[in-house]
Amino acid sequence: MNFIETRGNDGQHPAEVSFSAAILSPMSSFGGIYVPKTLPQLGIPFLEKHLDADYKTLARAVLGAFEIDIDPAVIDKALATYDDFDDSNSPVPVIKVGDRLFVSELYHGPTRAFKDMALQPFGVVLSDLAQKRGEHYLILAATSGDTGPAALETFKNKPNVKVACLYPDGGTSDVQRLQMVTENAPNLKVIGIKGDFDDAQNALKLLLGSTSFRAKLQEKNTLLSAANSVNFGRIIFQVIYHIHSYLELVRQDAVALGDKVYLDVPSGNFGNALGGYYAMKMGLPVEKILIASNSNNVLTQLINNGKYDLRDRSVVATISPAMDILKSSNIERILFDLFGAERTKVLMQQLNNEKHYELTTEELARLQEIFAADYCDDTEGKNYIQAAFQDGYLMDPHTATCFKTHETSETEPQATIVYSTAEWTKFSPTIANALTGEVDAHDLDALKSIAKEANTAIPAPIEALFGKEVTQKTVIEKEDIEQEVLSFL
Ligand SMILES: *Cc1c(COP(=O)(O)O)cnc(C)c1O
């Protein structure tokens, strides 16, 4: 299957590209991104057939339906990365937490956040393509805390790929920062930026679009790629777990095959929710996708009022920092799918130039057929963490935002699947505060008090982080990023 561009074709890019081309070089005409030309139709027979399939078998079938130009042996190798999750047979457990409420836990991989779901297998695919083509790639990643560790972990010591990872200094949790700055491999560079995540992401987009930067890389025999969530090589792996979670509900007798469910997704750059949207379009029985945000509630406004408005707005720091995002990149793919390339180009250019756009009444109605949204502020989030804990479920602040959306959306009598995107260990000071009232605890102290409260152990790899040597010490102004990256190469 081939890929086309969300803002139409400028005549300088190929009209369509293969999957491997789209993931190796994800920027397309007019600053758009790649989308599949059509989506495979799976429908109920596919679900029926895979009702008892294990995760990897299901994944192979879903990826197979996309007919991508990746060797099946490489796909097997990529999916084998799920063997390193907590339970290799069941990398994504789905837990019943309420009457018709389930949590699909996406954080059982090496860096304890859902980014592993896509980045672990993606790293294998990308490195293999680079080796087969005899090419060397630089992956530039901008992270609000979870993409960075996951990207570094997946590409660590992988041939033909180097990673430079930008993170907002002070904008991540201790655990997230330690996961990055203690990574020690010759092909990895971690760079702290004085600024917020949007600054880091903007810097990344500038570099990705800069021809002079590209030319300088070429002198070093290096091509540029990106591992951020606009890369379809990540999105494709995010379709799978939505289908898996639904089948898990059927297996648990919570729904009958064909019954519709709600997907409730804590959203930032909208990669996770987009995976759910594609799964729905491929025939997964979904009533609606609930979009949960924190106080950076641009998505709530878009879905409830049809207005994407960044005027007089700047990112506010919340207890769910992976969602502290105002420019949600993957919304563009939804715009394209619903309203076409011409309209997407107009809207995205308006957002770039005037910092806002507004959908028509008809467009908003179409969006609302698929999505509903709400946002959860920090106080509410902590209350949900506390309430869930009293009911026996320990969750992180990103997951907590979904509980608000669930509560304010009329989901009954259907079942809802909440996606849990991080383990409690990654955001322990907030959780300790919610559970015990202690303020400003350092991560390690917070981890200990939660472990005690929940009568559980701090996972060994997390505890070990605090004794590891910090090897990545660079923190710079955003103007100096290009130079820093070039000297790393
Ligand atoms: C990245 C991330 C999100 C947001 O996911 P998107 O796909 O960008 O919408 C939510 N929670 C956590 C913990 C994350 O790491």
pLDDT at 170: 86
Alpha-carbon span 453 to 271, nearest angstrom: 33
Atom of ligand 1 nearest to the CA of 107: 13
pLDDT at 53: 96
How many angstroms does the Cα of residue 357 sit away from the middle of ligand 1?
Answer: 24
Which amino acid is located at 278 in the chain? Y
SS (H, E, C) the chain: CCEEECCCCCCCCCCCECHHHHHHCCCCHHHCCEEECCCCCCHHHHHHHCCCCCHHHHHHHHHHHCCCCCCHHHHHHHHHHHHHCCCCCCCCCEEECCCCEEEEECCCCCCCECHHHHHHHHHHHHHHHHHHHCCCEEEEEECCCCHHHHHHHHHCCCCCEEEEEEEECCCCCHHHHHHHHCCCCCCEEEEEECCCHHHHHHHHHHHHHCHHHHHHHHHCCCEEEECCCCCHHHHHHHHHHHHHHHHHHHHCCCCCCCCCEEEEEECCCCHHHHHHHHHHHCCCCEEEEEEEECCCCHHHHHHHHCEEECCCCCCCCCCCHHHCCCCCCCHHHHHHHHHHHHHHHHHHHHHHHHCEEECCHHHHHHHHHHEEEEECCHHHHHHHHHHHHHCCCCCCHHHHHHHHHHHHCCCCCCEEEEEECECHHHHHHHHHHHHHCCCCCCHHHHHHHHHHHHCCCCCHHHHHHCCCCCCCCCEECHHHHHHHHHHHC
Q: Are 469 and 195 in contact (CB under 8 A)?
A: no
Q: Are 13 and 29 in contact (CB under 8 A)?
A: yes
Instruction: Indicate whether residue 294 lines ligand 1 (CB < 6 A).
Output: no
Alpha-carbon span 358 to 372, nearest angstrom: 17
Q: Are 269 and 309 in contact (CB under 8 A)?
A: no
How many angstroms does the Cα of residue 472 sit away from the middle of ligand 1?
Answer: 24
Residues 6 or more apart whose CB falls under 8 angstroms from that of 435 comprise: 385, 386, 389, 449, 450, 453
How many angstroms does the Cα of residue 263 sit away from the middle of ligand 1?
Answer: 15
pLDDT in tens, the chain (489 residues): 899 999 999 999 999 999 999 998 877 899 899 999 999 999 999 999 999 999 999 999 999 999 999 999 999 999 999 999 999 989 999 999 999 999 999 999 999 999 999 999 999 999 999 999 999 999 988 887 888 999 999 999 999 999 999 999 988 888 999 999 999 999 999 999 998 887 888 888 888 889 999 999 999 999 988 787 789 999 999 999 999 999 999 999 999 999 999 999 999 999 999 999 999 999 999 999 999 999 999 999 999 999 999 999 998 989 998 898 899 999 999 999 999 999 999 999 999 999 999 999 999 999 999 999 999 999 999 999 999 999 999 999 999 999 999 999 988 899 999 999 999 999 999 999 999 999 988 899 999 999 999 999 999 989 999 999 999 999 999 889 999 999 999
How many angstroms does the Cα of residue 6 sit away from the middle of ligand 1?
Answer: 22
Residue 138: beta bridge partners? 162, 224
pLDDT at 95: 98
φ/ψ of 316, rounded to 5, equals -105, 140
Q: What is the CATH number of domain 86-113+233-464?
A: 3.40.50.1100
pLDDT at 171: 82
Instruction: Indicate whether residue 149 lines ligand 1 (CB < 6 A).
Output: no
Atom of ligand 1 nearest to the CA of 398: 11
How many angstroms does the Cα of residue 420 sit away from the middle of ligand 1?
Answer: 9
Alpha-carbon span 90 to 68, nearest angstrom: 25
**Residue located nearest, by CA, to atom 1 of ligand 1:** 322
Instruction: Indicate whether residue 323 lines ligand 1 (CB < 6 A).
Output: yes
Residue ranges covered by each domain of the chain = 86-113+233-464
b/e sequence 354-376, b meaning 16+ C-beta within 10 Å: eeebebeeebbeebeebbbbbbb
Instruction: Indicate whether residue 113 lines ligand 1 (CB < 6 A).
Output: yes
Residues 6 or more apart whose CB falls under 8 angstroms from that of 48 comprise: 257
Whole-structure pTM value: 0.95
pLDDT at 471: 94
The vertex-177 CA angle with 171 and 182, nearest 5°, equals 160
Residues 6 or more apart whose CB falls under 8 angstroms from that of 276 comprise: 242, 263, 265, 286, 289
Q: Are 95 and 103 in contact (CB under 8 A)?
A: yes
